[in-house]
Amino acid sequence: MIKKSSYLKVFSLMICVIVTFLAVISGNFFTRKVSLQIGQIARDTIYAPYQVENEMATRRKRELAEKGILPKYKADIKVQEKAIADIELLFEYTDSIQTTDVAERLDQSSLEVLRSRSPIGLYKDEYETLLSMRTQDLNYMKEECIHIAVKLFEEGIQTDDLNKVLEIKSMLEETKLSVTYQKVAEGILTTVIKPNVIFDEAATNEAKKLEREKVDPVFILQGETILEKGTRVTEEIYNILDKVGYLDTNKNTKYKHYLGISLLIVLILIFVLRYIKRSHGLKELQDKQVYLIMILYILSIGIIRMMLGRTFVYLPFAVAPIIIALLVDVDTALIINMILVVFAAIILKGDILFIVYFMITGILSILVVGNMQERKRTMKSALVIGVIQLSTYLALKLFIGADITINIIIEAGIAFVIGFISVVVVVGTLPLLEFAFGFVTPLQLLELTNPNQPVLKRLLLEATGTYYHSLLVANLAETAADAIGANPLMARVGGYYHDIGKIASSNYFKENQNLENPHDIMDPIKSCQVIISHVAHGLDLATQYNLPVYIKDMIKEHHGTSVMQYFYIKAKEQKGEFIKEDQFRYKGPKPRTKEAALIMLADVVEATVRSMQDKLGVELTIEQIVRKMVKQKLEEGQLDNCELYISDIDKIINSFSKMLKGMYHERIQYPERTDK
């Protein structure tokens, strides 16, 4: 008889096939094909299958926006500084020649000295006028020349704006200079006044670039008319039709595509199923894992289909494979990533760049995040994946010889952001998936081993002996789990938390007592009830601190339905036949997993060896005690409900014995010192 879960798996598989087929045939690969040439008259109206950019219209719009940008100019302050400096030097030289004997020492005339040293070229009569002027008049002329020059430079002088003679004359007429002196000042100013405002090509180009970027691309929306029936096919329309993949003369191509994609889907699914079934590298998948994979696959195909018309860097491709790597295993995630890449390339009509990009980034994302064992490493892993996607995109663009333009840099930045967000989304949804499907992840387990967990801190402070007993049990269980192929990390977590219920009455347990034992004066039945109650108290604390279900199961199962022999025998001696064994029995249930069974065995073995360590020797070895206690649990039937084999029992005994010999090895008896 076929199980109900088998029907669900078959149904889910059919849904995956149908969704994939529909996504492919509605994607870019199966767009409508028509036979048209530039200048030909359209026989039918053609609509856009998805949003597509009209590149020629966008280019025209941006060129028009550029034409509205006026040229940009910039002021050259050095021109003004040099002009002022030349004016000051001219008058300084003039004053120096007038007031010193420099001309006599040089054996030259004053005119010759001034003409040779002057930074400003003037006529002979203008130099003579300067040399004949009084110091007071010279200073006044210098100040007015500097004032007029500064004013003109501040207004700005362009290359084609050199005729400033009239403006200079007008400004000189407003001064107190005589007509003769005004002509000299005019000669000085017309010589030093030069263009200080020049064309700024870089600023102009930047302004044009910003104006181009402000222009939104011209899109033809999905369903919008590309070509009206009866109109002529222009170069612009032809390019759009070619871009959406409409230009084709073979009308039977799509039927061949349908048949081909159907066969491809079947072949890929057969390959995946056969690989999972036969591969020794993949563990047998549980039902919940199969359903999770199918759900993620369907969602991924749907998202891929929704990305039609978008650059592929926007596609959060790694999310599903990373989740599968964390919740199932890395090998399965790699297979799913490969399948998604193949179908995404078909749906979106991706090129070799598309395939290589997602193969590389998908595999590296799985390997990086799939081995992440702490949620606090989320940001680091997210940054790593973001850098991987950015670097891969740029590397592939360089490989095909593309120029690194601003658009490519922006797309590389988008690739980084998508990679970063993908990891954050995965880690953020893990708690929901853990709760919905009952998954146990290494991230969750490692967080629970943190000594700073509130309940573990309470155990250390309020039941110190139990805390260290729990550490020993965890070490024993983890080592044995590794030996038999169970989950070592889960066994360790179970060891840490199995006895947290002892916090409620820690002094009633031997490992927490100093000298007095309350049970010496208590009724055996009452003592038994106190001891058994640590299971119920443990479940209450587990609920209070929101511990996972599997920890609660280990708390309930670590004693199974064992009988508390010590108090049962004591009560039997005191009250005789009125005492029944069930009064001293734990409520159970018996361990149902390998990890829970290991916690039970490690708990009883560690406690027994610790209590009998003074009697250890040749006649009583640790291995004998371990074998006896494990055999006792087997004979009681406590291990009947878990998947332990006889070969596992021997491995467990050997592992426990080796660990305990290291813990309780024989010590050397040191002699006492007799010297004073």
| pLDDT value, residue 665 | 59
Domains defined along the chain, listed by start? 73-199 (no CATH), 253-439 (1.10.1760), 445-663 (1.10.3210)
Q: Of 605, 619, 611, which Cα lies nearest the Cα of 658?
A: 605
Question: Are the CB atoms for 330 and 370 separated by under 8 Å?
Answer: yes
Rg (CA), the chain: 45
| Residue 520: exposure state from Cβ atoms within 10 A (0-12, 13-18, ≥19) | exposed
The label of the residue with tokens 């300084």 reads 92
311, 346, 406 from 401: Cα distances, Å? 19, 25, 15
Phi, psi angle pair for 285, to nearest 5°: -75, 140
Question: Are the CB atoms for 46 and 233 separated by under 8 Å?
Answer: no
Tell me the pairing of strands 219-220 and 52-53: antiparallel
The whole-angstrom separation of Cα 28 and Cα 48 is 11
Between 55-67 and 201-214, two packed helices, what is the crossing angle to 10 degrees? 140
b/e 652-666 (16+ beta carbons within 10 angstroms → b) = bbebbbbbbbeebee
| pLDDT value, residue 241 | 77
Q: Give bridge partners of residue 232 from the DSSP assignment.
A: 41
Q: 243: how many CB neighbours lie within 10 A of its CB?
A: 16
Q: Please, what are the averages of pLDDT over each run of 10 residues along the chain (676 residues)?
A: 57 77 71 68 75 82 82 80 88 87 85 86 87 88 89 79 74 87 87 80 82 82 78 81 66 67 77 62 61 87 82 87 85 87 84 88 88 74 91 89 86 92 88 77 81 92 92 94 90 93 89 81 87 92 90 92 85 78 87 93 91 82 91 90 88 92 63 56
CA torsion angle 12 14 17 21 (round to 10): -120
User: pTM (2 decimals)?
Assistant: 0.55
Q: Which two structure tokens, joined as six digits, stand for 261?
A: 């994609």
Helices (H) and strands (E) in the chain, counts: 28, 6
Q: What is the DSSP letter of 280?
A: S
Single-letter amino acid code for the residue at 592: R
Q: Give bridge partners of residue 41 from the DSSP assignment.
A: 232
CA torsion angle 449 453 458 459 (round to 10): -10
